[in-house]
Amino acid sequence: QEDVFKKLVAHCKEYGFVFQSSEVYDGLGAVYDYGQNGVELKNNIKKYWWDSMVLLHENVVGLDSAIFMHPTTWKASGHVDAFNDPLIDNKDSKKRYRADVLIEDLIQKFEEKINKEVTKAKKRFGDSFDEKQFLETNPRVLANQEKINTVHGRFAKALNDNDLEELRQIIIDYEIACPISGTKNWTDVRQFNLMFSTEMGSTADGAQKIYLRPETAQGIFVNYLNVQKTGRMKLPFGIAQIGKAFRNEIVARQFIFRMREFEQMEMQFFVRPGEEMKWFEYWKEARMKWHKAMGMGDEKYRFHDHDKLAHYANAATDVEFKMPFGFKEVEGIHSRTDFDLSQHQEYSGKKIQYFDPELNKSYVPYVIETSIGVDRMFLSIMAGAYNEEEVEGKGGKKETRVVLNLPPVLAPVKLAVMPLVKKDGLPEKARAIIDDLKFDFNCQYDEKDSIGKRYRRQDAIGTPYCVTVDHQSLEDDTVTIRYRDTMEQERVKIAELHGIIAKKVSM
């Protein structure tokens, strides 16, 4: 699995999806740039989200608020005082870790051990294997399950009590990430604030310390009244936003999974107090449906309900995706009560309320939030789409085809148009097809190398359709269309191309 992940990272670079930021200077930690194909995929993800949120919901509208916000925003939101990660250093390896991530990894290792036992037993017992019974009775499984329960329980309690010493103790007790077995050489756990700060204005003017927003949500909360009043919005309604967020992550790893500069797609849905659970369930289901509609396979998604809730939340769940390194959060769905709006009301001294004509009274609305990282979504899509297949090559020889089975709606290039040879008017015919289609679809012209090589190149970036122009095309205005997933080819009229492609690549 690690191997698959390495290949995926290499593929992202080789095919112009993701580059390390400032690579000529050996890169900047956990900051990445999106290349020519990456930016198209990313834009398509954002559009797919935006359209499904803002266009398909009459009562959801958009917003684009600034990255810089008044510094009091972050006092009110709690980020100045409580947006911390628990850090710990191993004195032997001189490596720094996030204590909570170490413990989560440990739990995952136990889970992997159980999975391995199951796989082994399945092989051994074949059809007569009863997984349920095996999980309930196998001593090795039970021992690992016991460990998971114990660590989980201690971990949840330590987080709840903010007990940093207990976090350290769990790490010591299970000898996590120890370079030498048995070392207990860990520093204390300390809290580290994740917000980046900078100064606005010159010092002579009295410069003000401001932050780069660590989430887009607060831009929505402070604009709640502006949007509600000017849009004459009635509860329930939502505000959606896509934008950059910044977090000084300590353990920045796993490629674009955890970055220091990333992008979020958030939606805050304002509801009548007491109705939040109904809407929490609504959005939970709606968001899962959206993910599954991508066609990556339903079994790759699951919910992870939080047993430990932030003090302001009364329900929270994550949508997790099966990455090459295990099930990981891609989206959070939270019921945030009236915490944020009330805080801004208190810190600003201004009333932030809704007059409910049906109830004939004013109140601070409750909020359901859906929050997804564009980059993490990008990674999940790439991981789900990346496939290596054995196919028959020249002369019946087996070869490997690397293909991105991207959902057509997200593919960076929808259609590659290829003249069979670079003469006899075929390039001109191919370009004429592109001129006809390029306003509606991202098309690519490719005339270099053999047709087979050109197909492979398009497979590797996930292009769902390749169109080949040959001599017959000049006579009867037909072309060969080749489908990425099946590699099947058929002869179609040039005039039909638009319809064929549109059917698959629109939402």
Least Cβ distance, residue 290 to ligand ATP (angstroms) = 14
- Using the minimum distance from each CB to ligand ATP, give the nearer residue, 340 or 470: 340
- Using the minimum distance from each CB to ligand ATP, give the nearer residue, 260 or 454: 260
- Using the minimum distance from each CB to ligand ATP, give the nearer residue, 256 or 479: 256
- Using the minimum distance from each CB to ligand ATP, give the nearer residue, 41 or 469: 41
Q: Rounded distance, CA 292 to CA 319, Å? A: 11
- Using the minimum distance from each CB to ligand ATP, give the nearer residue, 353 or 380: 380
| 247 carries a ligand binding annotation | yes
Least Cβ distance, residue 212 to ligand ATP (angstroms) = 13
- Using the minimum distance from each CB to ligand ATP, give the nearer residue, 284 or 414: 284
- Sign of the C-alpha dihedral computed for residues 318, 256, 110 and 116 taken in this order: positive
| 206 carries a ligand binding annotation | no
| 104 carries a ligand binding annotation | no
| 374 carries a ligand binding annotation | yes
Q: Rounded distance, CA 379 to CA 39, Å? A: 13
| 253 carries a ligand binding annotation | no
| 329 carries a ligand binding annotation | yes
| 37 carries a ligand binding annotation | no
Least Cβ distance, residue 2 to ligand ATP (angstroms) = 19
Classify 130 as helix, strand or coil. Answer: coil
| 294 carries a ligand binding annotation | no
Q: Rounded distance, CA 348 to CA 106, Å? A: 44
Q: Convert 105-135 to b/e letters by CB count within 10 Å (16 or more is b).
A: ebbeebeebbeebbeebeeeeeeeeeeeebe
Least Cβ distance, residue 174 to ligand ATP (angstroms) = 21
Residue 330's nearest CA partner among 366, 378, 286 is: 378
Q: What region, left, alpha or beta, does residue 258 occupy, with left being phi > 0 and alpha being psi -120 to 50 degrees?
A: beta
Tokens 């996590």 sit at which residue? Answer: 176
**Rule CB under 6 A: which residues touch ligand ATP?**
215, 247, 249, 258-259, 262, 264, 329-332, 371-373, 375-376
Q: Rounded distance, CA 497 to CA 138, Å? A: 57
Who contacts 54 (Cβ-Cβ below 8 Å, separation ≥6)? 60, 61, 62, 240
Least Cβ distance, residue 326 to ligand ATP (angstroms) = 13
Which residue is nearest to ligand ATP, using beta carbons?
A: 373
Least Cβ distance, residue 90 to ligand ATP (angstroms) = 21
Q: Which residue ranges are tagged as binding site for ATP?
A: 247-249, 257-262, 329-330, 373-376
Q: Which residue ranges are tagged as binding site for substrate?
A: 98, 215, 262-266, 369-373
Q: Which residue ranges are tagged as binding site?
A: 98, 215, 247-249, 257-266, 329-330, 369-376
